[in-house]
Amino acid sequence: MVIPHIWRRLFCRAQLGIFSVIFTDNTWYLVDFFSFLTENTTVSTAIIERCDKMYYFLMEVNLPLTGIRNAKRIVFKVGTSTLTYPTGKTNIRRMAKIVSVLSDLQNEGREIVLVSSGAISVGVGKLGLKERPHDTPGRQAAACIGQCELMFMYDKFFSEYSHNIGQLLITKSDVENGERRENLINTFNTIFELGAIPIVNENDSVAVEEIVYGDNDSLSAIVAKLINADALVILTDTDGLFDANPQENPEAKLISAVDEITPEIKALAGSAGTSRGTGGMITKLNAAEIAVEAGIDAVIMNGSDPSEIYKLLEGRQIGTFFKGKKTRLQ
């Protein structure tokens, strides 16, 4: 059926509610009244009937976010800037909300892994230091103290929802050594069988390498790959990837979906992140690339309002979406 070009915006009634269909010459967009479900939505069949100035559509659609909505095993990565205030102190309200949402998702039947940064920053705050240590022993000492505080708080918050947690501190050698990697995978699987939630961090207190994986961004993708996760969700302090620096350019637009992570896409990432962390958008893009190559869907989204995770898992367009390649690595 050929649809007249003049019909730019039509409304349709579907079983799940009233939606708006916007289409250009080659691309259709399916949206609801609150937010875009997805861009790059394709419509394979459409039957149009006019009735009382409304156009009713029966559609067969392909939504790129379907994989996220149906994801059972999800790795969430939360960054230092999301967990702490600029003062270095823990953002208790946000941390509690993140735990609330993840606990609810666990209750729903999903398997949750939390890769959490913040040990060094929390240690700096607990010790009353004016700034993050610049030397490796100083950072390791801060991480040692901060990790205890971080896990104490996670245990306290998760226990309020009757969830058990387990701590996994990982070094580069744990992933690169075949036997240790296999033991790590077995540990994850056993934790899942026990119904507990693994909380992962790099073992900063013993790892000599300077933040081996880049503020845990790439670590979260490696963990997702190890456990054959369905999705990776990176929570950060921006809404996702923009076509320009939104702090410098008010006209910068959010890129809702990336088909391929090219050098041009990486060039949009800019430099490193905040003084409280060591990551930045480039490390998040590197993490998304690892996940996508392993066939895992990835999303970079703002973690300031953890309840947005619900919208994401309902299939709505939140943050920047990276579609995992069809061939999953086993």
The answer to whether residues 300 and 288 touch, using CB atoms and an 8 Å cutoff, is yes
pLDDT of residue 114: 98
Residue 125, amino acid: G
Which contacts (CB < 8 Å, 24+ apart) does range 23-30 have?
30/59, 30/61, 30/63
Phi then psi for residue 228, to 5 deg, are 55, 50
For residue 145, give both structure tokens: 């103290």
Decide which of 3.40.1160.10, 3.40.50.880, 3.60.15.10, 3.60.20.40 is the CATH code for 68-322. 3.40.1160.10
pLDDT of residue 50: 37
Residue 280, amino acid: G
3-state helix, strand, coil in the chain (%, to 5): 35, 25, 40
Each residue of 215-246: b (16+ CB within 10 Å) or e?
Answer: bbbbbbbbbbbbbbbbbbbbbbebbbbbeeee
* Mean pLDDT per 10-residue interval, the chain, length 330 residues: 37 38 42 38 39 35 64 95 85 97 98 94 88 87 91 97 96 87 96 97 68 71 96 95 89 92 89 50 94 96 96 92 76
For residue 299, give both structure tokens: 């999303």
DSSP per-residue letters across 122-170: HHHHHHT-SS--SSHHHHHHHHHHHHHHHHHHHHHHHHTTT--EEEEEE
pLDDT of residue 175: 87
Residue ranges per structural domain of the chain: 9-63, 68-322
Residue 35, amino acid: S
- The neighbour count for residue 304, using CB atoms within 10 Å, is 16
For residue 320, give both structure tokens: 């920047």
Phi then psi for residue 41, to 5 deg, are -70, 135
pLDDT of residue 327: 62
Contacts of 194 (CB under 8 A, 6+ apart): 164
Contacts of 273 (CB under 8 A, 6+ apart): 79, 81, 215, 237, 279, 280, 281, 283
